[in-house]
Amino acid sequence: MTLTVTTARRPVDTTVRRPADHVIVLFGGNGDLARRKLLPGLFHLHEAGLMPEQFRIVGCSRSDLGDDGFREFARQAVDQFGRMPTTDGGWEPFAETLRYVSTAGGLGALARAAVGAMESLPSEPRLLHYLSVPPRAAPDIVAELGAVGLVDRARVIMEKPFGVDLESARRLNAAVHAVFDESQVFRIDHFLGKEAVQNILALRFANGLFEPVWNRDHVDHVQIDVPETLSVGTRGSFYEQTGAFRDMVVTHLFQVLGFVAMEPPTSLTPEPLVAEKRKVFDTTEPLDPCEVVRGQYDGYRDVPGVASDSDVETFVALRTHVDNWRWAGVPFYLRTGKRLARPGHVLTLAFHEPPRRLFELDAAVRDPNLLTFELGEPGSITASFLAKEPGATMRLGTARMTFEYEHSFCTAMQLEAYERLLHDAMIGDRTYFNTAAGIERLWEIAEPLLRHPPPAEPYAEGSWGPAAADELIRPRHWHLSGHG
């Protein structure tokens, strides 16, 4: 039984802060991320009135694309991956802001183009560099930005992974800090820009119904589960360097854990919220390799770019612990992997059963006392509980109350994750970005596993991963897959 929760609709918020004038430089401007997310996102921000009043977008890469070629690439990207096809009347004003520079000969031409774009604006604009490039290329680009003088009044957005271990993360942070102050650096994790992820904070801290029971006295365990049905596709070489743990757990899943486990901040401004999330990671115990299951789907080694004897994991499940007053004794279970039975982005809080059971339950009754967040877009929240079924006997069944974004609020102007984070970076709001110290602490937590990883166990495509993942969580079970 499902009860759908609705909310009162209201007009779109018109008080959102509009950024100052900007010149936005997209490194990797003709790459896959720019095509799928960045250019469609910037166009939607423009349509929504959330771009600066005056701005220029300078795409760059080693290709010789030219302004007209970049504009055509951008329009095809928006038509294919945007919310709706462009029209000439809506597209032309945005297209006029687009420029392109080849960086095959270094960043000298880019510096001249960026300075020219800044001088073409009537105000004193800010610079925003988006490094949509392989992580190994980032230190050299950052150093060149310093050498050509594109640092003043500038911010830089950096894509994950932020290193591959503690030592490389420290080297990367040192290289970045040699050019940019930490306040100028925005390490992006698109999970933190999701409306549904941010709703974890809203549900906890805006409602007296939930915060009093958000602790070890009431919560039995927490699951953060992000299975994927996709294979690694053409990313074999990339995956050989990262694997599921580096690609997903040490970034996305741990960031969600930080939102779940943090103490109430004094405000939702960047400093207090980031500080509370950092405290969670400071009290998260280093991973025990004995509490980690690694898996590799059958056929992974046949992917181009993958070694024939590869032990890289395409699946990982683990148990971790936050050793503080609120969460002592509560296990956090994290799971993600490729080629699994069904996709999902799910956070589940499982609450303790009552200390004394007054009702007999049928064996078929499963998973009462859950609070489940679907973190995919547009997202939902479901509370599962027991209720009496109609009839002459006290027979209980599982009931659910569900809140769904798309059926509850006006979502026409909802921002996707990259759109929200691009806007935040332009206004200088670092609330939902990672810090150097936070990244390094996560690699410290990961260090024991990286040094002594258990072997990757094979699993069938379309399954739920190795059987050892079910043993890891017993006597509990993974709620998304229904294993018991």
Catalytic residue numbers? 252
User: What is the rounded CA–CA span in Å between residue 163 and residue 173?
Assistant: 9
Burial class (CB in 10 A: 0-12, 13-18, 19+), 286: exposed
Residue corresponding to tokens 């950052």: 142
User: What is the rounded CA–CA span in Å between residue 56 and residue 30?
Assistant: 16
φ, ψ dihedrals at 211, nearest 5°? -55, -35
Give the SS3 label for residue 123: coil
DSSP for 379-414 reads -EEEEEEEEEPSSSS--EEEEEEEEEHHHHS--TTP
- Whether 27 contacts 131, CB under 8 Å: yes
Give the up-direction half-sphere exposure of residue 298: CA atoms within 13 A in the CB hemisphere: 7
Cis upstream peptide for 161 (omega within 30°) = yes
Instruction: List alpha helices for 39-194, DSSP H.
Output: 39-47, 66-81, 88-95, 108-119, 138-147, 166-177
User: What is the rounded CA–CA span in Å between residue 64 and residue 104?
Assistant: 8
